[in-house]
Amino acid sequence: MAAGLRITAVDCGPLDIDKGILMTGATGKIDVASSVYIIEHPEKGLILFDTGINYNVADPEAAVKYWGPGMREALGCKMTRDHAIDRQLMKLGYKTEDIKYVVMSHLHLDHAGGMCHFPNATFVVQKNELRYAWWPDSWTSLVYCLNDFKDTRGYNFLQINGDVDLFQDGLIQLITTPGHSPGHQAMIVRLENRGLVCLGADTAHLKEAFQNMAPMPYDWNAEILSDSYMKLRILENSGIPIYLSHDPKDFAEFPKNGEWAD
C-alpha cells in the first residue's frame, strides 16, 4: 500500500446563515464555513474535494449577476475575494494548474463555484449529479447555479456511478451518500498517522442534524437521505471520524490553512 495522504481544509465562503436553512426546525443564525479540502497524494499529486463559492460572489454587485438577486444576502455570504479557492491555493504556495483531480461532493453553488479555475484537471463526479445539476427540478434549482458549470462542457469528467476506490490504492474512497442531492458523494481518506477519516460533505449540514437524522429544507429526497445517514453512522460506529463541510466544530477541529493532517 502507498504511503498515506496529507490533507488541509480552507474556508472558501463563510456564511452567516439562518440555521433553519441548514436544519429543519432550527432557529437563529449560525456562522459556518464552506470547506474545501486540499489533498496531497504521494503519487497522484494535488487533489481537491469541492471548490467552494465563486469569486464573483465576493462583490455584492457581481454576485447579483452571478447568483441572481438576493441570494448572497439570503445565505448571509461574507466571502471576500481572498476566500476563493484560487487565492487560497496561492496562499499555500500552489498554482491552480497544480491541481490534477477535483472530486465534487455535489454541484450546489457553495461547492461548485471554483470549477472555473481548473480547466485542465480531471473532475470526478457521480454521473447522476452532473446530469441533474444541468436540469434540476424547479424547487431545488435555486441551489444549482448554472454559471458554475455552463463553461465546463469541454472539461475532462470521470463520471462515476457508485462507490469507487479512486486510485485503487486504498487512499481515497468515494462513497455515494445521496439524498441532499441525487448524486451526492462523501470521501474516505487514509492518512498516514490518523488512519481513515470520512469527509461527509453535505450528507448533513450540521452534526446535530446528522445525529438527529433531521433533513434540511433543500434536501432532494429525505427518505433516500436517511439511508445515507445510516451509511455514515456505520462508519462512525467503526471509529472513523466524520467531518461535515459546514459544521462549525468539524471545521474548527480539522487541520486547516496549511496545517496538515497526515
From 129-137, 155-163, 175-183, 202-210, span contacting Zn ion (CB under 5 A): 202-210
Minimum distance, C-beta of residue 33 to Zn ion, in the bound complex (Å): 10
Minimum distance, C-beta of residue 106 to Zn ion, in the bound complex (Å): 8
From 25-33, 107-115, 151-159, 217-225, span contacting Zn ion (CB under 5 A): 107-115
Minimum distance, C-beta of residue 27 to Zn ion, in the bound complex (Å): 20
Minimum distance, C-beta of residue 43 to Zn ion, in the bound complex (Å): 30
Kindly report the CA angle at 125 between 121 and 128, in degrees rounded to 5?
145
From 67-75, 137-145, 182-190, 194-202, span contacting Zn ion (CB under 5 A): 194-202
Minimum distance, C-beta of residue 111 to Zn ion, in the bound complex (Å): 5
From 47-55, 104-112, 125-133, 174-182, span contacting Zn ion (CB under 5 A): 104-112
With CA atoms as reference, report the closest residue to 55 among 82, 76, 22.
Answer: 82
DSSP 36-95: EEEEEETTTEEEEE---S-GGGGSHHHHHHHH-TTHHHHTTB---GGGSHHHHHHHTT--
**Could you tell me how many residues of this chain bind Zn ion (CB under 5 A)?**
2
175 forms beta bridges with 186
Q: Which is nearer to Zn ion, 4 or 113 (CB)?
A: 113
From 103-111, 134-142, 161-169, 206-214, span contacting Zn ion (CB under 5 A): 103-111
Q: Which long-range contacts (CB under 8 A, 24 or more apart) does 62-69 make?
A: 66/145, 66/147, 67/109, 67/145, 67/147, 68/145
> Could you tell me what percentage of the chain is helix, strand and coil, using 3-state DSSP and rounding each to the nearest 5?
30, 25, 40
Instruction: Provide φ and ψ at 28, rounded to 5°.
Output: 85, -175
Mark residue 90 as left, alpha or beta (left: phi above 0; alpha: psi -120 to 50; beta: remaining): alpha
Minimum distance, C-beta of residue 180 to Zn ion, in the bound complex (Å): 8
The C-alpha atoms of residue 88 and residue 82 are separated, in whole angstroms, by 7
Q: Which is nearer to Zn ion, 4 or 183 (CB)?
A: 183
The C-alpha atoms of residue 117 and residue 148 are separated, in whole angstroms, by 11
247 touching Zn ion, by CB under 5 A: no
Q: Which is nearer to Zn ion, 4 or 200 (CB)?
A: 200
Among 11, 50, 86, 110, binds Zn ion (CB under 5 A): 110
Minimum distance, C-beta of residue 109 to Zn ion, in the bound complex (Å): 8
Residues 22-51, interacting with Zn ion (CB under 5 A) = none
Contact criterion met (CB below 8 Å) for 86 and 58 = no
Q: Which is nearer to Zn ion, 17 or 191 (CB)?
A: 17
The C-alpha atoms of residue 214 and residue 199 are separated, in whole angstroms, by 19
Among 129, 202, 247, 250, binds Zn ion (CB under 5 A): 202
Residues forming the site for Zn ion (CB under 5 A): 110, 202
